[in-house]
Structure formats: structure tokens, C-alpha cells
């Protein structure tokens, strides 16, 4: 009950931030470059993901993977209150995948993509901020769908001293939504590390651009 109340309160806060702030978008039509390649795998960094539901493509089905443990229930309630479906599970070390529900979540995300709906997930290795893990590469390889990096930034925020350096966005900000170019990962061929680095570099690029836009 307390987690549900917390999730509802956070969703109301995020709506207040969005409603009182002015957001620029890049591209102006956010999904112009990828409009013909839906469904997508939307990638984001964990610490900067709370405002991402406001980037949801209009008229498109969309689900986000959320951990089963820790604060996952609060995050799931927050997302659902903002109109975003959730898939419960998390990645991690190979020995933890089944316990955390990562294998089941991976199968569910593949099924969701095959049904024509897009999915979103944070790309960080658990407890290692801004280092892309192998999970998002595996999802792209198995599903055949592109990874699309996205970023949100606001001019007023509090950066917490947590593993992911979580950003608490504040009302009355200048904001930016940025969508990067799609990254296609072949089902066969190429080194996994090469593709992992491509996702990591693309995510850092869109986050750097979003940060630039809110101070311009």
C-alpha cells in the first residue's frame, strides 16, 4: 500500500515538472527518423529515466522493463500512473538472471516486440552507472529490432549520491527531449563488445546533447 502511494505521489510530481517546464525536442519531430521502423527498443540511462514516459510516441503501444526487487514496485506504479505498461524483471550476472526474472522478462519483451509494440529498458549494468550491459544487445539481436537511444534533461534538478546518480527533476525548468539514430544489431556476426560499446556511446551522445540544450 505504501509503495503504491509513493508511486502515485511520484507520478504527480513528474506531471507537475512536465506541466510547469518548457521542453525543446531534437529532432523537432522526435521520432521522425525512426517512424518507419517501429517497434523499437528504447534505451535510456537508469539515473535519468524518470521523465522518459513523457517522450512516449503518440498512438504507439509501449512497455518498460522494471525490476521485481527493491524499489521496482514503486517505479512500476509510477509508470502505470503515467500510462506506461510494465514488464517485470531485471538483468545482472548470469547466476542471478533466473532469480531476478531476467530470462522471463527477455522472452516477454521479445513477444511484445513481435506483437508490434515497442519496449523500453535502462541499459546500465546493474549498480554500474552509464555502462551498457549485454542485455539490451541480446534483446536487439534476438528480436531483430533497432535500439534507439533517448535522453531527458532539465535545467533545474538535484543529482542524488546513488549508484546511478539519479536526477530529481524540478518544476519551472528548461527541458530537452532527445532521440538518437537507430542502432541495428545483426542476429549473427560482429562482436558483442562492439555492439555494447555502440549503444553506450550513442546513449552518452544523446545525454550530452540534452544537457547542452537546457543551458543554451
What DSSP string runs through 55-92? GPPTT--EEEEE-SSTTHHHHHHHHHHTT-EEEE----
pLDDT in tens, 46-56: 999 999 999 98
pLDDT in tens, 54-111: 998 888 888 999 987 767 889 999 999 999 999 987 655 444 444 455 688 889 999 9
More confident residue, 209 or 69: 209
Closest C-alpha to 123, from 90, 87, 94, 95? 90
Q: In the Cβ-directed half-sphere of 154, how many Cα atoms lie within 13 Å?
A: 25
Using a cut of 0.85, tell me whether the model's pTM lies above it: yes
Question: With 90 as the cut, is the pLDDT of residue 150 above it?
Answer: yes
pLDDT in tens, 1-58: 788 899 999 999 999 999 999 999 999 999 998 989 999 999 999 999 999 999 988 8
Sequence-separated (6 or more) residues with CB below 8 Å from residue 38 = 57, 60, 116, 118
pLDDT bucket at 216, cuts 50 / 70 / 90: low
Question: With 70 as the cut, is the pLDDT of residue 160 above it?
Answer: yes
Domain boundaries, the chain: 22-66+85-215
pLDDT at 81: 92
The C-alpha angle with vertex 157 and arms to 50 and 136, in degrees rounded to 5, equals: 35
CA–CA distance, 13 with 83 (Å, rounded to integer): 15
Amino acid at each position: 500500500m505504501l509503495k503504491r502511494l509513493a508511486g502515485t505521489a511520484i507520478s504527480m510530481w513528474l506531471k507537475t515538472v512536465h506541466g510547469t517546464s518548457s521542453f525543446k525536442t531534437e529532432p523537432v519531430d522526435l521520432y521522425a527518423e525512426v517512424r518507419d521502423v517501429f517497434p523499437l527498443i528504447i534505451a535510456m540511462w537508469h539515473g535519468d529515466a524518470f521523465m522518459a514516459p513523457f517522450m512516449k510516441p503518440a498512438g504507439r503501444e509501449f512497455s518498460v522493463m522494471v525490476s521485481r526487487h527493491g524499489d521496482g514496485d514503486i517505479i512500476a506504479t509510477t509508470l502505470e500512473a503515467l500510462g506506461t505498461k510494465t514488464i517485470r524483471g531485471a538483468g545482472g550476472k548470469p547466476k542471478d538472471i533466473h532469480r531476478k526474472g531476467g530470462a522471463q522478462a527477455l522472452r516477454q519483451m521479445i513477444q511484445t516486440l513481435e506483437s508490434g509494440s515497442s519496449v523500453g529498458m535502462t541499459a546500465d549494468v546493474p549498480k554500474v552507472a552509464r555502462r551498457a550491459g549485454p542485455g539490451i544487445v541480446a534483446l536487439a539481436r534476438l528480436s531483430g529490432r533497432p535500439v534507439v537511444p533517448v535522453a531527458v534533461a532539465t535545467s533545474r534538478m538535484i543529482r542524488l549520491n546513488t549508484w546511478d546518480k539519479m536526477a530529481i527533476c524540478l518544476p519551472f525548468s528548461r527541458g530537452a527531449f532527445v532521440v538518437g539514430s537507430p542502432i541495428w544489431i545483426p542476429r549473427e556476426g560482429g562482436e558483442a563488445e562492439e555492439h555494447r560499446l555502440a549503444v553506450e556511446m550513442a546513449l552518452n551522445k544523446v545525454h550530452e546533447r540534452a544537457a547542452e540544450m537546457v543551458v543554451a
